[in-house]
Amino acid sequence: MQTHRKQGPRKQCGRTISRLFLLPMTGQGDPRARPQPYASHTVTPRRKKLAPDPDVRRAIVDAASKSVREQGVRGLSVATVLERAQLSTRAFYRHFESKDQLVAAVFLEMTRSEVTRLRDKMSEATDPIEAVAAWIDGRLDLAFDEDIRAELRQVSLEAQSKAFSTPEMVTPAYGAILEPLVEQLQRGLELGVFKDIVPAVAAKSIHGVVWAGTQRQWATHHWDRDDVRDRAVRFCLRGLGVAPHTIEQVTAAS
């Protein structure tokens, strides 16, 4: 005689749970089907970012330039600059993204007066050859003129060191210094007094010659200015394809 066992509540419960997992998530079990209460949020309008102010930027750069002259680039502190300019951190970052960008602006600002001085010196030249010689002579002031050396030596050395580690910091200032020289090299090439040159490349080579003479004088303090100038002018003009007798005339005139 076969007996039938009644299914206990535990087995029925198990089947019920199994069926639940086969049901699609609809109705009250589906969070997507539940009515979502509307939440009202108060939107606070964002503060409108102020545009850069040329006067504020000038104040920051001027304060930074004074700090660099006193303590060098290594001693430059954004906090000190802002304290000197009496401006906030917000004002600083409205005009500069970083301290490096500020240093680049300082280099460029200090270069502008040097470029003006070089252009004034070159304006007396009657042709591109004399203008190139005048640029060389003007840049040698950095080694032999006491006032210019005192003002620019430290900054020039720091700029030179940055040229390798962070070139973007000094490239604008370096380009500004070379610009009047490049212009005269281009003019001389067009007139035929300079031969087979690329003005931008030739300008960098001339700068290298002058910088080597400047550093040598800083290190030894016993070179004669006229001798250094004549050697640099002769070497550079020969490289530009200038005739020997013309080189003699230029060096004799100085």
Q: How many domains does the chain have?
A: 2
Residue 217 has a pLDDT of 93
User: Rounded CA gap, 221 and 96, in Å?
Assistant: 39
Q: What is the residue range of 57's domain? A: 52-96
Residue 152 has a pLDDT of 80
Q: What's the token pair of residue 82?
A: 């802002």
Sign of the torsion angle spanned by Cα atoms 154, 159, 160, 164: positive
Q: Is 61 exposed, middle or buried (0-12, 13-18, 19+ CB in 10 A)?
A: buried
Residue 115 lies in a domain: yes
74 & 186 share domain: no
Residue 21 has a pLDDT of 39
119 & 242 share domain: yes
80 & 206 share domain: no
User: Rounded CA gap, 225 and 241, in Å?
Assistant: 24
169 & 241 share domain: yes
CA–CA distance from 221 to each of 39, 41, 136, 144, 148 (Å)?
Answer: 79, 74, 19, 9, 15
Residue 47 lies in a domain: no
Domain end: 38, 62, 96, which one? 96
Question: Per-residue pLDDT for 36 more than 80?
Answer: no
Question: Per-residue pLDDT for 191 more than 90?
Answer: yes
84 & 130 share domain: no
Residue 220 lies in a domain: yes
Highest averaged pLDDT of the listed ranges 12-21, 32-41, 160-169, 179-188: 179-188
* In the block, residue with structure tokens 């007396």: 124
pLDDT in tens, 133-189: 999 999 999 999 988 887 788 888 888 878 777 888 889 999 999 999 999 999 999
From the list 101, 30, 25, the residue with the least C-alpha distance to 61 is: 101
More confident residue, 241 or 110: 241
122 & 169 share domain: yes
User: Rounded CA gap, 187 and 193, in Å?
Assistant: 9
pTM, 2 dp: 0.73
User: Rounded CA gap, 6 and 151, in Å?
Assistant: 106
Q: Which residues neighbour 154 within 8 Å (Cβ) at sequence distance 6 or greater?
A: 72
Residue 242 has a pLDDT of 97
115 & 74 share domain: no
User: Rounded CA gap, 125 and 135, in Å?
Assistant: 10
User: Rounded CA gap, 88 and 94, in Å?
Assistant: 10
Residue 22 lies in a domain: no
Residue 8 lies in a domain: no
Residue 3 has a pLDDT of 47
* In the block, residue with structure tokens 């002031």: 141
- Residues 23-53 as b/e (b if ≥16 CB within 10 A, e otherwise) read eeeeeeeeeeeeeeeeeeeeeeeeeeeeeee
Residue 47 has a pLDDT of 57
The CATH number linked to 176 is: 1.10.357.10
User: Rounded CA gap, 115 and 175, in Å?
Assistant: 10
Percent share of the chain, pLDDT over 70: 80
